[in-house]
Each structure stands twice: as structure tokens, then as C-alpha cells.
A = this chain, B = another copy of it.
Amino acid sequence: MSESYELGSQFREFLKGVLDEKERGPQYGVKWGASVNLTGLKDNYKGTKVKPYTVPPGGIDNLALHSTDIFRIPGKGEFSVDFSGYFRVARDNPTTKDWSTFEILVNIIDLKMYGKHKDLGEIAVSLNPDVLSTGQLFPAGAPQAPAKCRIATGVVFDIPQFGLSVFNKEPILLMNEHVTSVPPVDDPNGHALLFLLPLFDRANPSGKPVAHLTSLRYGADNYITESEAKSFREQ
């Protein structure tokens, strides 16, 4: 390989990094952990093979996602809402390919989910662009043992029927202690570790909480197609 090709290739990788950074949107005001360097990470879509107990190289996973969230709104009661959509997770290159000892940093770089409730109307969930949502996969400790995953996530819930847009200042901690593949596709076992997590009004962010998230269960589904991902990203 000629030196100029090598340089050209590096330059393309660099540009890709710059472009990917740009796609992230605004600068993050708050970072709950380390940034994943997106340079050289390729998007993975439907058709990507996932093998159990196997550590793949880094990549950006575009996965379908569903959740059931329970909200408590003072004076109004508790509301359980089913959401479905997608998330786009930048997964760093692993520290090693050994399932027993690998570690991987992750960032959620996009998330869109939609739900509907008979009293609250339509609700949209999106990644909070002011917060870097970060996480980690922890080593399994043995070749066929489950790995663990945590991702500290910042989102915005838009509830247009109430003219309300709320967000979390403390992370919604998505976690899964039974990860048997990377990424954990078709895995309904995720939940958020939380206790009456306060949600704040974006129109009055310094005020008291306007609602609390009391429970969140989620499942990462399988890869979506590139055009499905594009459609979500443009919403």
C-alpha cells in the first residue's frame, strides 16, 4: 500500500470522524462518562451477524428498542406507557477479544421512541442533546458467563397534549446483568435502576420536578435496515 493511499485513507477516516461528531448535534453540557471516538466505527444494520459469547470489533449499532415506562404526575396519578422506536449506540473497540475479560465503552448517539396513552395522548422520547449518554460493558469473568452492561441515559419526553416537555437531570440507568452477546439483541431483560427519578420542565429547568419516573423496563430488539435508521434519524 502506497504512502499516499495510506494518508488518503487516514484523511477519509478523519473526515468521517468530523462528520460523525457533527451529526451528534450541539456540544454536550454534561457528560456522564467518557466519549467514544467515532473515527473508524461503521454503522451496523439489519443482516449483521451476532454470535453468543463473542466479542466483535467496535461499531455503531442501529437497533430497534421498546420500553414500558411508568410516570407519576402529582395530582394526576400514575401512567404506564409502552414505547417503541430505535437507538443508535456507538460501541468502542473492545479492550480484548477474550469474552472473559473484555471491556467496552459505549455512547448512545441517537434515540427515538414513540408511545400513546389514553389520558396523556402521544408521547415522544428523544435523546437529550445537552447530555452525553455513556456506558460500559463489564467483563463476564468466564468464557460462557453473562457480561454486564450499564448506560447512563439522558432523554426528553415530549407530551404535546399537555404542552409539556420534560427531561431527567440524573441519568436513567439502563442496565442488564445477563448480556450473552454483543450487542445484546432480542433481549427483553433490560431495566432501569431508579427510584422516583425526578423529571423537570424544559420551560422551567431550575424549578421543582414536575413528574417522576417510577419504573422503566426495556428490551433491545434486532438490527433495523439502513433506510429505517435514516427515517428515525430524520424525525
Contact = CB atoms under 8 A, between A and B. Distances in A.
Interface of A: 30-35, 105, 136, 138, 148, 150, 152, 169-171, 173, 175, 193-196, 198, 200, 206-209
Report the copy number of this chain in the oligomer: 2
Given A138-B196, A193-B194, A206 B150 contact: no
A136 B105 contact: no
Given A33-B169, A152-B170, A171-B171, 17 more contacts: A30-B30, A32-B169, A32-B170, A33-B209, A34-B207, A34-B208, A35-B206, A105-B208, A136-B196, A136-B198, A136-B209, A138-B196, A150-B196, A170-B171, A175-B195, A193-B193, A193-B195
Given A30-B30, A169-B33, A170-B173, A150 B195 contact: yes
A179 to B, nearest CB: 13
A155 to B, nearest CB: 15
7 contacts: A31-B169, A32-B170, A33-B169, A34-B206, A105-B208, A170-B173, A175-B195
